[in-house]
Amino acid sequence: MNDLLTMAEPSSLRDLAITTAKDFKNSWIELGRVLYSIWRDKHYKEWGYQQFDTYVTKEIGIRKATSLKLLRSYYFLEKEEPAYLQQDYLKDTDPAKVPSYEAVDVLRRAKEKNLDRQDYQKLREDIFVKGKNSQEVRKDLTTLMREREEYDPEEAWQRKKQTNIKRFIGTLKSLKREMEDTKLLPDKIAREVNSLIAKLEEQI
């Protein structure tokens, strides 16, 4: 194989390098597609695994956090950027501008933060057109969010309030489950806790 590469014309090697780089960068999309299908249809259970996390760790050899990012990033493309998954689109894309799953994950999280359309489109262009990496995009997103908070402190306060309420609800639910499992929580108090959780959820 090395001899064949040595004999190849420099222009052919250049084309091969571009094609190989593109295939390498696009491979996460194919892996995400396959893992999403396995997760969605619970095929891992047919293979003797009770949890998807166990399957990807033991059989695929990737960490839980990585598999979740791959799933979320692929699903985001499927939902928000379906054209990007078309083979013709991928074929014509400059390999230097193929986004990583980390960069797509940053864009996914930006979408969840309800950025205004102009800011979101800028981040989208940075990723899909300019090929910025995840560190650069994450820094840009942080800057946008900081500017937004300075521009609208009321919105920032409301967002902080929502975050704290969600955290409090999560803590209550966790404590309630623990108390129920250990039989330390009387039924009356459990009902009161459920009522409190329901009232808090109305505030979200």
Measured between alpha carbons, how far is residue 162 from residues 159, 166, 168 in Å?
Answer: 5, 6, 10
Residue-range domain boundaries for the chain: 2-152, 156-202
CA–CA gap between residue 89 and residue 129 (Å, rounded): 12
Q: Rg of the Cα trace of the chain?
A: 23
- Give the residue among 70, 74, 40, 108 at the shortest CA–CA distance from 60: 70
Per-residue pLDDT of the chain (204 residues), as tens digits, is 445 444 445 556 666 666 665 665 667 888 888 889 999 999 999 999 899 999 999 998 888 888 898 899 999 999 998 887 876 555 666 666 778 889 999 888 888 877 778 888 888 888 888 888 888 888 888 887 776 665 555 665 666 777 788 888 888 888 777 777 777 767 777 788 888 888 877 776
